[in-house]
Structure 1
Amino acid sequence: MPPQKPAASQPDLPQEIARCRLCAPRFAATRTAHSPRPVPWFHPKARILIAGQAPGLRVHESGRPFDDRSGDRLRDWLGIDRATFHDQALLACVPAAFCFPGYDAKGSDLPPPKLCAETWQDRVMTTLSAVKLTVLVGGYAHRGHLGLKTSVTENVRHWRDYAPATFLLPHPSWRNTGWLRKNPWFEQELLPELRRSVAACVTPPP
């Protein structure tokens, strides 16, 4: 087997992912019966990594990560605007699956197919050597990157064990508004530290 290409020689990896159709039969069988539309969003210069679950329907339609109400809340948590968030030279979004997985019979998001991470995750991560801050959004990211098997609440509650290089967040879905009310320490203690770490990456010292 020939040796794997070094990160610097993989400039076409996003395009390769964008052409992926491995999950076409799986998606055709969902309630939405949609075709794959991978949303790769990363660049070797990125200093911030956002690791999440999978694109939702609005992101599937727009082709831009977190281009929805959840993204608005996430950007507020990070303390940055849309233009900064979507600057690929600064911020990479690498979810557990690059495609919208579809809805089940009850209208809920299906889990991200494991095949996606198995196919692409290692190759993508080798390109992100400039990352200084990793933000793990939701349980899938907590498990996939840190192997955590406890609840999202417990994971996030122990955020100091990983900061300031890594932050664990709940999903920014508006369905989690009740969670935020029950856990005021998240906004009072974690978010100020997260924003400081993000700001340090956005405006690094000369």
Structure 2
Amino acid sequence: MLEGLLPQIRACQLCAAHLPHGPRPVLRAATSARLMIVGQAPGTKVHASGIPWDDQSGKRLRSWLGLTPDEFYNEANVAIVPTAFCYPGTGPSGDLPPRPECFKHWHPQLLPLLPNIQLTLLIGTYAQRAFLGANAKSTLTQTVEAWQDYLPQYLPLPHPSPRNIAWFKRHPWFEREVIPTLQEIVQATLHG
């Protein structure tokens, strides 16, 4: 049961030896959730607060989805389940990739306990590759461009990080074409 698994995940030490800031699994889930948001792994701010998407990326994501913070953090409706639950540390060009052990160990146990998920948002390359496997395109841009191919189960998105401003500027079709439809689908998923 989910009520038994969540405390186990939150107490996880599986990757402790590899985490420079120690483990602090961050996720939200309830069996009633209809929308699941899968990102890569918490960043430093989220690691410090313990609140998923508690940063500038989260503000942009909530704007894309057309959700207030109260709606976004209502775990009865929205599950926030990153590819890996702990901050992996910093590498030469930003955060390190999510620890693979986390996804392999916990997701097969967790996902079957979320039976009401109707739509999963796959945010960034790591989430897209983890969930889409061979169906992911060669690049994030190609996968996001093909977003309609993955509906109704998945909707791939770029990461809303301020570091991706150049990507948003190079691909204005995303905000023009994808965001309005994304908002409609999210509303229908949560209230339909």
TM range (shorter): over 0.9
**SS of equivalent to 1:134:** strand
1:185 maps to what in 2? 173
**Greater fraction helix:** 2
**SS of equivalent to 1:74:** helix
Structure with the greater relative contact order (CA < 8 A, sep ≥ 6): 1 or 2?
Answer: 2
* Distance of 1:10 and 1:88 partners within structure 2: 13
**SS of equivalent to 2:155:** strand
* Distance of 1:138 and 1:170 partners within structure 2: 5
What does residue range 155-170 of structure 1 map to in structure 2 within 5 Å?
A: 155-170=143-158
Is the aligned partner of 1:72 residue 2:59? yes
* Distance of 2:93 and 2:121 partners within structure 1: 28
1:3 maps to what in 2? none
Is the aligned partner of 1:114 residue 2:100? yes
> How far 1:177 moved relative to its partner?
1.0
Q: Which runs of 5+ in 2 are unaligned?
A: none
> How far 1:107 moved relative to its partner?
6.5
* Distance of 1:175 and 1:97 partners within structure 2: 20
**SS of equivalent to 1:80:** coil
> Contact 1:44–1:127 (CA<8 Å) still a contact in 2?
yes
* Distance of 1:63 and 1:129 partners within structure 2: 25
2:42 maps to what in 1? 55
Q: TM-score when scaled to structure 2?
A: 0.95
> CA offsets, 1:139-182, max 9 Å, x none?
01110101125100000011111234421100010111111111
Please point out which of 75, 81, 98 is paired with 1:88.
75
% identical aligned pairs: 44
**Aligned residue pairs: how many?**
190
* Distance of 2:172 and 2:32 partners within structure 1: 35
1:4 maps to what in 2? none
1:142 maps to what in 2? 128
> How far 1:23 moved relative to its partner?
1.2
Higher CA-based Rg:
1
Show structure 1 runs of 4+ deviating over 6 A. Answer: none
Is the aligned partner of 1:20 residue 2:12? yes
* Distance of 1:107 and 1:190 partners within structure 2: 28
Q: TM-score when scaled to structure 1?
A: 0.88
> Contact 1:164–1:194 (CA<8 Å) still a contact in 2?
no
